[in-house]
Amino acid sequence: MEPVNVAVIYYSTSGNVHALARAVVEGARKAGAHVRLRKVAETAPAEVVDAHPAWARHHRDTAEVAEAGHGDLEWADAVLFGTPTRFGNPAAQLRQFIDTTGPLWFAGKLADKVYSSFTASNTAHGGQESTLLALGNTFYHWGGVIVPPGYTDPVQFTSGNPYGTSAVVGDAEPGEVSLAAARHQARRVVEVTAALKAGRAA
């Protein structure tokens, strides 16, 4: 059977979600998937980005990461979306990309794919679940198959978010538990997608 195609589409201002995205890529590749890592376009004005050293640095450091396009969504059997928690919601930059997908949705091209999501926030009760659930609203509209990590691996009992990998970062970067949860989530997405793909091909 053809390998599963996984698109990891994310937005990151200062690198935390990008670190999770790279762990997701690692987990998906290890599970045998073909993987595309894609950032969404920055929509903040350049002078705003440049006024924040961490933001400007991360923007420069990830200049080589290709930007997400509709072709990536069409190509993918499964898409994992990553976003910082912004006042309990996904970042506007990711929403901006999602809000361009009307024509794909209308043509039925987003239906029946597997979707999953991950996030980072500064605080433990800072809105991670509401962010992931808000992204989930879109997956319902697309007719997607939502695959959350649940408590399907021992790491989930430590990382603690069945809705999707969620790093509490504060001043630090995502730690090993969060990265392991991200790898697990990706593996689970690949396994479920492979089973769906095999079933549809039978």
Ligand X SMILES: Cc1cc2nc3c(=O)[nH]c(=O)nc-3n(C[C@H](O)[C@H](O)[C@H](O)COP(=O)(O)O)c2cc1C
Question: For binding to ligand X (CB under 6 A), which residues are involved?
Answer: 12-18, 84-88, 120-123, 126-127, 169
How is residue 78 annotated by DSSP?
A: E
Task: Sort 33 into a burial class: Cβ within 10 Å, 0-12 / 13-18 / 19+.
Answer: buried
Query: Residue 198 CB, nearest distance to ligand X (Å)?
Result: 35
Determine how β-strand 89-90 pairs with β-strand 145-146: unpaired
> Closest approach of Cβ 12 to ligand X, in Å?
3
Q: Which is nearer to ligand X, 136 or 174 (CB)?
A: 174
Cα distances from 140 to residues 68, 143, 144, in angstroms, run 21, 5, 6
In the complex, least distance from residue 156 CB atom to ligand X, rounded to whole angstroms:
20
> What token pair was written down for 168?
């509490």
Per DSSP, the residues of 8-60 read EEE--SSSHHHHHHHHHHHHHHHTT-EEEEEEPPP-S-HHHHHTSHHHHHHHH
Cβ atoms of residues 28 and 8 within 8 Å? yes
Between 79 and 190, CB nearer to ligand X:
79
Minimum CB–partner distance for residue 111 and ligand X (Å) = 29
Q: Please say which residue, 35 or 120, places its beta carbon nearer to ligand X.
A: 120
Rounded-to-integer distance, Cα 9 and Cα 77, Å: 13
Beta carbons within 8 Å of 142's beta carbon, 6+ residues apart? 101, 105, 110, 111, 113, 115
Nearest approach in angstroms of CB 15 to ligand X is: 5
Residue number with the smallest Cβ distance to ligand X: 126
Of the pair 85, 193, the CB lying nearest ligand X is at: 85
Q: How far is the CB of 59 from ligand X (least distance, A)?
A: 11
Cα 49 to Cα 60: distance, rounded to the nearest angstrom: 10
Closer to ligand X by CB, 22 or 184: give it. Answer: 22
Q: Which residues make beta-bridge pairs with 85? A: 90
Closer by beta carbon to ligand X, 155 or else 169: 169
